[in-house]
């Protein structure tokens, strides 16, 4: 099966995807536990396989027999990752959006579609979600080089419409929620203009953050929690998840 897609830059760093991995463990944990085949794909792991190794280790806490397959289009990257392979629980193969014919229960595709034209997003989503196992999830998003600012969409199997958009940050370095604008998923980043839903969302988030500036004295985490609660109480479409807010996350329904 010919891989679908093109070779991307492949830059990565250890622990770069820790925020989304933590959310995946929480959100997709039940699907992984109930799966007949606990297969997970890390699509486009990059020049080194460190993020695939890390995700497999984190998900093993949920299900010890989870199988991780890292997919890359570049055969040299696949060959270079083989030294980290530990078959059958961790393997690497050549593949793209077609997922190399696999039927995983979850796919993480991070910092991949960011390097494509926006016109390629819908087709890529459709290809990947059509190959998920029943009850599976595609988590697609982007982050900065150190993983301090992250955003991602969650799409269920068989759908091209995400259910949610999640924003996560290292709160001690967050200056403003407007910092998320440069790291929005490819499907949204070019639509962040006045009058669009995502622009309205980020603007409201930034206004609430400023409104809660007095909470800074108690630390950035308390300011973040107060901001999320203020958004919820004033009618903004933020999901009520205080336990996730404490971790520096906030999730919105995608239609918002």
pLDDT of residue 1: 66
Q: What is the pLDDT of residues 44-81, one digit of tens each?
A: 998 899 999 999 999 999 999 999 999 999 999 999 99
Q: Which CATH architecture has domain 18-169?
A: 3-Layer(aba) Sandwich (3.40)
What number of CA atoms fall less than 13 Å from residue 162's CA on the CB side? 25
Distance CA 252, CA 256 (A): 7
pLDDT averaged over the chain?
Answer: 94
Query: Where does the chain hold its CATH 3.40.50.150 domain(s)?
Result: 18-169
Q: What is the pLDDT of residues 196-252, one digit of tens each?
A: 999 999 999 999 999 999 999 999 999 999 999 999 999 999 999 999 999 999 999
The radius of gyration computed from the CA coordinates of the chain, to the nearest angstrom, equals: 18
For residue 166, what is the enclosing H or E element? strand 164-169
Q: Lowest-confidence range among 35-39, 80-84, 129-133, 149-153?
A: 80-84
pLDDT of residue 135: 95
Distance CA 88, CA 66 (A): 10
> Residue 10 above 70 pLDDT?
no
The reply to whether omega before 41 is within 30° of 0 (cis) is no
What confidence tier does 17 reach under pLDDT thresholds 50, 70, 90?
very high
Single pTM value for the model: 0.94
pLDDT of residue 29: 95
Other residues' Cβ atoms within 10 Å of the Cβ of residue 1:
10
pLDDT of residue 96: 96
């Amino acid at each position: 099966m010919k891989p679908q897609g093109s070779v991307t830059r492949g830059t990565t760093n250890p622990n770069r995807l820790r925020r989304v991995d933590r959310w995946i463990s929480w959100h997709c944990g039940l699907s992984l536990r109930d799966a007949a085949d606990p297969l997970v794909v890390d699509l486009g792991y990059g020049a080194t396989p460190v993020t695939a190794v890390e995700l497999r280790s984190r998900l093993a806490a949920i299900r010890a027999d989870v199988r991780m397959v890292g997919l890359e289009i570049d055969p040299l990257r696949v060959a270079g990752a083989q030294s980290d392979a530990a078959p059958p629980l961790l393997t690497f193969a050549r593949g793209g959006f077609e997922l190399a014919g696999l039927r995983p229960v979850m796919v993480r595709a991070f910092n991949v579609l960011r390097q494509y034209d926006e016109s390629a997003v819908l087709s890529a989503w459709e290809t990947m979600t059509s190959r998920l196992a029943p009850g599976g999830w595609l988590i697609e998003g982007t982050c900065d080089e150190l993983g301090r600012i992250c955003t991602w969409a969650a799409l269920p199997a068989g759908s091209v419409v995400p259910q949610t958009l999640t924003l996560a940050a290292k709160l001690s370095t967050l200056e403003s929620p407007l910092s998320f604008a440069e790291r929005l998923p490819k499907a949204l980043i070019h639509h962040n203009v006045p009058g669009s839903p995502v622009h309205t969302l980020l603007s409201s988030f930034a206004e609430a953050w400023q409104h809660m500036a007095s909470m800074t004295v108690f630390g950035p985490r308390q300011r973040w929690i107060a901001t999320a609660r203020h958004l919820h109480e004033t009618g903004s479409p933020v999901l009520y998840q205080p336990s996730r807010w404490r971790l520096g996350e906030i999730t919105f329904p995608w239609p918002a």
